[in-house]
Amino acid sequence: MNQRAPQGHNVVTQSLAQIGGCGLFLLTLLAAIPRSLRYFRETLRQLWFVGAMSLTIIMVCGLFIGMVLMLQLYHVLSIFGGTSASGLVVALAVYRELGPVVTALLFAGRAGTSITAEIGLMRATDQIDAMEMMAVDPIAYVATPRFLAGLIAMPLLACVFCAMAIFGGHLVGVTWLGIDNGTFWSNMTAVVDVHTDIVNGVLLKSLAFGAVVTLIAVYQGFTTPPTSEGVAYATTRTVVASSIAILALDFVLTAFLM
């Protein structure tokens, strides 16, 4: 595997070249999916690393975001006597935006960086070349299982994040600030729409974010110069590019799905 990051003359052409290279890499990844099915155990192993191992950070952050959101909303809504709607607003904010977006940003920081660093080091230590020489396709064995694992893990992690955020909101709103438990849940169930808020808001967005983050992470890993500095830059690029891509894609998806 001798992929190299495309080179350009300035920031704009370099960025365009990176996007083009990433697009071509996506096609290579998709074409390798049938071949990677025989590495199902590797996909499961990666699912454990990028999914299960990210659970703690996702759960803790979800809990605190739900708590702080409820705290802020309660104080603002109390001015207008609308504290009973706090739970509903927390739920809508979490389902529609914060759940998938914050999960994706955390996922990029936790799983994306580790994917890039791992593949980059594999390249630097000739492990990718060794696989090629053992007639094992590194795209099918290394890249695609990680891509598929990210694709599967992200919606699940976003669901866990949302559940923890609602729990955090409930903890602060009902247990601490005294909002009626029945009002908290009934307002939420009356307004939250499964299709618009859960399927489109959480699942579809997080699926798209999962695809983008893991694609960027794997691409950066495969194209990084095989040096310690190269791996460091590639890891940073994964976080920066993923964060921008997540927020830009969030706007586009929201505009289309609303």
Closer residue to another protein (CB): 138 or 173 = 138
CB of 82 to another protein, least distance (A): 54
Ramachandran assignment for 3, one of left (phi > 0), alpha (psi -120 to 50 degrees), beta (any other)? beta
User: Shortest distance, CB of residue 128 to another protein, whole angstroms?
Assistant: 9
Residues 107-136 that bind another protein (CB under 8 A): 121-122, 125-127, 129-130, 132-136
CB of 53 to another protein, least distance (A): 14
Residue 2 makes contact with another protein by CB under 8 A: yes
Residue number, 12 or 134, with CB nearest to another protein: 134
**In angstroms, how far is the first alpha carbon of the chain from the final one?**
42
Secondary structure class of 51 (helix, strand, coil): coil
Rule CB under 8 A: say whether 27 interacts with another protein: no
Q: What is the DSSP letter of 187?
A: H
Rounded least distance, CB 7 to another protein, Å: 12
258 touches another protein (CB under 8 A): no
Token output for 75: 């104080």
CB 238 within 8 A of CB 212: no
* Nearest distance in Å: CB 42, another protein: 11
At residue 56, what are phi and psi to the nearest 5 degrees? -60, -50
Return the number of the residue (129 or 180) whose C-beta is nearest another protein: 129
What is the size of the binding site for another protein (CB under 8 A)? 15
> x/- contact string, 64-103, with another protein (CB under 8 A)?
----------------------------------------
Locate 96 and state its tokens.
């529609």
Specify the amino acid at residue 10: N
DSSP code, position 83: G
Smallest distance, Å, CB 38 to another protein?
9
Please say which residue, 46 or 214, places its beta carbon nearer to another protein: 46
For another protein, the closer of residues 35 and 75 by Cβ is: 35
What is the per-residue burial (b if ≥16 Cβ within 10 Å, else e) of 179-218?
Answer: beeebbbebbeeebeeeebbebbbbbbbbbbbbbbbbbbb
Cβ contacts of 127 within 8 Å, gap of 6 or more? none
Positions in the binding site for another protein (CB under 8 A): 2, 121-122, 125-127, 129-130, 132-137, 141
